[in-house]
Amino acid sequence: MTTYTYPGPDFPGPPSVELTAEDGWQPRHGLGPAMTMERSDDGGAKLEVVVTRLRDWETLDEAAMKIAGALEKLPGYRELVRDADPVSGFDGFRLEAQVRNPAGGGAFLQLIRYALVQQRAGVRDLVQLMGSCTAAQATLVAPEIRAMQDSVVLLAAD
């Protein structure tokens, strides 16, 4: 018999994620994502960090197409930016779009960055940096979200 562990040599743990936040942003716990930062002015602006282990056949392009396809279905979809954009030295993707809240209400901005982190043993993790704010907040808050996304340092598991 052979014993395997997680994290371990055959099953690396998730990559570490470090980010720098402007004053006025605070961590929130217990919401589901690995990390959630929310703006303390209670305007609903946030940045969520989600880490997902990819299957062997899944690619960064497919992940990018999935999120773009989901956003394109929302009312009022208007794409602002879509391009390849490395994150912390790893292959990455950026999508920014404005949409209307499907439950009613005003427009909001989605600021999305993806990174594909190559781990050992052929393991790959998708790190999703999912920012959002209302369209009314965009001038002030979107640059802060982008700055947090740009500050991210990713390290593959030991």
pTM (2 d.p.): 0.93
- pLDDT 10s digits, 38-79: 998 877 899 999 999 999 899 999 999 999 999 999 999 999
- Please give the Cα distance from 31 to 23 (Å, whole number): 21
Decide the pairing of beta strands 153-155 and 78-84.
unpaired
> Which domains, and CATH codes, for the chain?
16-155 (3.40.1000.10)
Judged by phi (left if over 0) then psi (alpha if -120 to 50, else beta), residue 8 lies in: beta
Q: Where are the beta strands (DSSP E) in the chain?
A: 16-18, 25-28, 35-39, 46-53, 78-84, 92-100, 107-118, 124-134, 153-155
Nearest Cα to 118, choosing from 84, 87, 90, 88? Answer: 90
What is the spatial distance between Cα 83 and Cα 94, in angstroms, rounded to a whole number?
A: 5
Q: What's the pLDDT score for residue 65?
A: 94
DSSP 127-140: EEEEEEEEGGGHHH
Instruction: Report the DSSP pairing between strands 35-39 and 46-53.
Output: antiparallel
Nearest to 146 by CA among 55, 45, 50: 45
pLDDT tens-digit series, residues 21-35? 999 999 999 888 999
**Which residues, in sequence order, are CB contacts of 8 under 8 Å at separation 6+?**
none
Question: Quick one: pLDDT at residue 91?
Answer: 97
pLDDT of the residue at 1: 96
pLDDT tens track for 74-120: 999 999 999 999 999 999 999 999 999 877 778 999 999 999 999 98
Give the distance, in angstroms, between the CA of residue 54 and the centroid of all CA atoms in the same chain: 15
